Amino acid sequence: MLSGKQIVLIISGGIAAYKSLDLIRRLKERGARVIPVMTGGAQEFITPLAVGALSAEKVFTGLFDREAEHDVGHIRLARDHDLILIAPATANLMAKMAHGIADDLATAILLATDKPVLAAPAMNPKMWQNPATQHNLTVLKDRGIRFCGPASGEMAEKGEAGVGRMSEPLDIVAAVQTMIRGRDLQAGRLPLAGRHVLITSGPTHEPIDPVRYIANRSSGKQGHALAEAAREAGARVTLVCGPVNLPDPADVTVIRVETAAEMLKAVETSLPADIAIMAAAVADWRMASEGTQKIKKDGSGKPPALELTENPDILATIGHHQSLRPKLLIGFAAETRDLLTNALGKLERKNADWIVANDVSPATGIMGGDANTIHLVSRSGVEDWPQMSKTDVARQIVARAADTLNGAAKT
């Protein structure tokens, strides 16, 4: 996550500039503010209008922009932000940087900055391999400039392939996150640094026989977003997740399980934790005895009687744990009616500190969707939150949890 971070994005003139549009979108999705600077060359490939529309910011294009320069615009752009990202970085731009040339706004910013700089080069493979470019690369690396890519593959020029393609926007975003997290860690700025956060996510599958199982519609999106948000906040994160169709979040210890019993075991062995967030939609029941053979129709036309037994309640188990109860224990309540009454009941019964309550009636589209409308239920009351993306819900829950743990807020 990049909430609250300000990134100056320098777009220089290469065909890969079109990918910068997607890059802006991806950075903004993660909460960053993106201030675009375009070189003259970049404007030959994409328009400032498109860049401005996607970033929702003024696009800086010229060194001698009277409006921007009356408050020393290029110096401000060079200094007031968390990171300068160059994507694409052309061979020409790298050469100018290596030699301290400042003949346009982008290069003036790069010469004046004291902020971290990350470059995503893009050029023809021959230009990349050229000793001049390789020498410039070494010079820039020695000065602390970081690089993402280039990747190898087909080039825009017909029939050419090799190393020189700009990295994909998501790879660049990951490099930005790693760099910012590293600096925040160094500066002791991450609110959950040194903490362990344990999260459950996804559904559980309870086998009926070797080929069938009981399941539910949980996608795991909210739990996984929480794991990412906790990681971004500097925590060591353990994610215990049921069967989901989602990639493992980066830098998180993921324990994949199938059943509620396995989930409980994984949770217990992962304790102690400072914060536990039980976002999994654990199946309430499993088969009293799981058959080893596939259940067959017996010809009578009557369905088989499936005898069920209740699963252990993971949240309640750790909520009542004598020695290993986390300092902050957060549960979810997925309801289709009497949302708040049910949530309060769960808060008490399971001895949680907060319950994140949401209405999962099919009409809300929350199950499997990307948005969530939650109510934060605690012993001091109920807070209604506006509809947000699951990512934003995750970021805000994690920020609130960090404040509570660090003593800045009580809920």
Chain positions contacting ligand CTP, by CB under 6 A: 200, 260, 278, 280-282, 284, 311, 313-315, 331-334, 346
Could you give the residue ranges of the DSSP H alpha helices within 303-379? 314-319, 339-349
209: amino acid identity, one letter: D
- The answer to whether residue 92 is catalytic is no
Which residues have a Cβ under 8 Å from the Cβ of 128 and sit 6 or more positions away?
91, 121, 134, 150, 162, 163, 164
Task: Work out the angle at residue 194's Cα, subtended by the Cα atoms of residues 227 and 324, and round it to the nearest 5 degrees.
Answer: 75
Which is nearer to ligand CTP, 68 or 334 (by Cβ)?
334
Closest CB 357 distance from ligand CTP, rounded Å: 9
Which is nearer to ligand CTP, 138 or 309 (by Cβ)?
309
- 3-state class percentages of the chain: helix first, strand second, coil last, to nearest 5: 35, 25, 40
Task: Work out the angle at residue 337's Cα, subtended by the Cα atoms of residues 392 and 344, and round it to the nearest 5 degrees.
Answer: 70
Which is nearer to ligand CTP, 39 or 311 (by Cβ)?
311
Which residues have a Cβ under 8 Å from the Cβ of 182 and sit 6 or more positions away?
none
Which of these is catalytic: 216, 311, 358, 372? Answer: 216
Q: Which two tokens stand for residue 46?
A: 């994409």
Could you give the residue ranges of the DSSP H alpha helices within 221-328? 221-232, 260-270, 314-319
Closest CB 258 distance from ligand CTP, rounded Å: 14
Closest CB 51 distance from ligand CTP, rounded Å: 43
Closest CB 362 distance from ligand CTP, rounded Å: 16
204: amino acid identity, one letter: T
Q: In what order do the strands lie in the sheet with 146-147?
A: 33-38, 6-11, 83-89, 117-121, 146-147
Closest CB 388 distance from ligand CTP, rounded Å: 19
Which is nearer to ligand CTP, 133 or 200 (by Cβ)?
200
Which is nearer to ligand CTP, 133 or 270 (by Cβ)?
270
- What is the Cα–Cα distance from 319 to 332, expressed in whole angstroms? 13
Positions annotated as catalytic residues are 216
